[in-house]
Amino acid sequence: MARSSDEDVVVRRVHPEEWEAYRALRLRALARDRVAFGSSFEDEARRSDSEWKEKADRGANSPTSYLCVAEVPDDKLVGMAVGALVEGTPWIFGMWVEPTWRGRGIGGALLDSAISWLQKQRPTQPIFLDVNPRQTAALRLYGSRGFRPTGGSKRLDHSPGESAIQMRAPPATERANA
């Protein structure tokens, strides 16, 4: 469990029974910042309760997926990030913080939590993520944690004309020796 610079915010791994709160957070994120994600509000809103329960359970308990959330004192979730091993490769997905809670270090605390978990799983491998290049605050945050563009990109099919660039952070073993 970690704290952001706002001492009233706790960053921690999601609990399986929080699937409804996670669903609400994820859908708010997709509705608010459509171009920041690889999926759409419409697609995610069609998921069944059992699919949301499974996503929360996997994020809470899986050895290959880690869903961390930012919680404020009234038990409301205001941010999220996912670290996952995709075919053995470390990736970060789904980073988002409620707009009214931005600028308080929550995004950094979420990102650090996901990075830490991934580095424990695969210390000798780099970590990857995709980000829309118009998300300038996200680019700055990722850059501050050692992520650099790889030159790869992909279209965001749910948002015509939008794309995401791939970024890579060096393995924990390289960071320790730098």
pLDDT tens digits, 20-55: 999 999 999 999 988 777 788 998 999 999 999 999
Strand (E) or helix (H) holding 85: strand 77-86
Domains present along the chain, CATH in parentheses: 2-125 (3.40.630.30)
C-alpha pair distances (Å), 24 with each of 32, 141, 155: 12, 25, 26
Q: Give the model confidence (pLDDT) of 85-130 as tens digits.
A: 999 999 999 999 999 999 999 999 999 999 999 999 999 999 999 9
Q: Tell me what the pLDDT averaged over the chain comes to.
A: 90
- pTM (two decimals): 0.90
Whether the per-residue pLDDT at 177 is higher than 80: the answer is: no
Burial class (CB in 10 A: 0-12, 13-18, 19+), 176: exposed
How many other CB atoms sit within 10 Å of the CB of residue 12?
A: 13
The pLDDT of residue 143 is 96
How many other CB atoms sit within 10 Å of the CB of residue 87?
A: 6
Edge to edge, the sheet with strand 163-169 lists 2-3, 10-13, 65-71, 77-86, 89-97, 127-131, 163-169, 148-155
The token duo for 120 is 């424990």
- Beta-bridge partners for 8: none
